[in-house]
Structure 1
Amino acid sequence: MTTSEENQPDLDENAVAEVQRVVAEQYAQHITDVLGEVPRPINWRALPPDDLEHELLELNAWVDWVRHEYGLPAQIIPPMWHRHPELLWELSALRQHWLFCYDPQAKGNQALAWHHDFAIARERLRDWVTIAGTRLDRDRPTRITPWPGGEAEDWTEQDTSERPVTARTEDFLAFVEAQVQARQREQDATIREIVNTDWSDRP
């Protein structure tokens, strides 16, 4: 054994294992940062307030990009799409599909698959816009047909009068704020219900 080898300290097995663990974590984080997470469908009914705000802003940015990128008219994506749940759900599904198809790990034919589904989705969007009655310069809430004896006791028919579309961005931000506040109230009510539940009689 040479003098240099004699002077080298023995590596502690625990230290080696810790170094390997840290390197593995850093590598996993690097892969996550590069590839991101696999896009999942968004359930807008179940998002907590912070996630709801984040996803609405992300969806708005994507919708703005796709309407410019493909030159989509208001008959497919109108300015007030966010005020119509049927359009929000459809556009959200389309965005998640796009994220999946253009993921770095996606197969080479996924871009064609997205464009195929995009063509079909555009027809559905036209139908939704027609039903909703929203236009480039005016908007009204989507009319809901009440069922005789089929609505909740506290259900009231919505005001469906038309309003001009003037400040779209300001309206979207106000919409996001109202949605987040409403979801926060729902969450707080659920937490209070859990806290106030008498668990003593539960098995």
Structure 2
Amino acid sequence: MTADEPLDFGEDPFERTFGQLRGPIHWPSLTEDETRNRLRELDEWVNDLVRRFALEPRVIPSCWAQHPALVEILSALRDHERADYADTASPTAAMDFLRALHDAQLFLADQVSKTQCSVAGHRDDLVASWTTTKPIG
């Protein structure tokens, strides 16, 4: 090592911590291909979450990926978990995640109750007809 070379202390702690975190996904902005790729990433995490916490289909039905609201809620929860378990997270952050999981379950169950999706089958979201008309102006 020469005097001109920077000291190397191994992995950069900033990169180790923040390199693993991305900003939240704005799902409506994604292309179809981007959405498909991001859903594949999210699917593995959702399956693991359902197993870890024995979540019922009334909270997360198997057709969750077909419901934009469920996708956005679950994506936000995954981001919350990633931040709560980052190397720089507070020792109490795990409890923050559990609180967020509790809140997310309420949001998810409310959304699922609108479609009545269950283990018996999928039902499409009911979209207000006025949202499919031409914009004002």
TM-score band by shorter chain is 0.7 to 0.9
- Give unmatched runs, 5+ long, in structure 1: 1-10, 154-203
Mapped partners of 2:95, 2:11: distance in 1: 32
Distance 1:133 1:51, change over 3 A: same
Q: Which has the higher contact order (CA 8 A, sep 6+)?
A: 2
Q: TM-score, normalised by structure 2?
A: 0.82
1:41 counterpart (24, 28, 35): 24
Distance 1:51 1:142, change over 3 A: closer
Q: Percent identity?
A: 25
Q: Counterpart amino acid of 2:107?
A: R
RMSD: 2.6
Distance 1:47 1:146, change over 3 A: closer
* Residues matched between the structures, number: 133
Partner of 1:91: 74
Deviation at 1:39, TM superposition (A): 3.9
Mapped partners of 1:71, 1:122: distance in 2: 12
Deviation at 1:139, TM superposition (A): 0.7
Partner of 2:6: 20
Partner of 2:57: 74
Mapped partners of 2:37, 2:83: distance in 1: 19
SS at match of 1:20: coil
Q: TM-score, normalised by structure 1?
A: 0.57
Deviation string, structure 1 residues 53-111 (Cα, Å, up to 9, x no partner): 44212210010000000001100000000000011011111111111111121001111
Mapped partners of 1:16, 1:48: distance in 2: 49
Distance 1:27 1:70, change over 3 A: closer
Q: Which has the larger radius of gyration?
A: 1
Distance 1:120 1:40, change over 3 A: same
Deviation string, structure 1 residues 10-61 (Cα, Å, up to 9, x no partner): x9xxx743x228x48x743x763x4343342111123456654442122100
SS at match of 1:45: helix
Mapped partners of 2:32, 2:70: distance in 1: 20
Partner of 2:114: 131
Q: Counterpart amino acid of 2:6?
A: Q
Q: Counterpart amino acid of 1:64?
A: N
Partner of 2:84: 101
Moved more, 46-55 or 112-121: 46-55
Could you tell me whether the CA contact under 8 Å between 1:39 and 1:99 is conserved in 2?
no
Q: Counterpart amino acid of 2:20?
A: E
Please state if 1:140 is matched with 2:123. Answer: yes
Mapped partners of 1:104, 1:50: distance in 2: 32
Mapped partners of 2:128, 2:35: distance in 1: 28
Mapped partners of 2:88, 2:22: distance in 1: 12
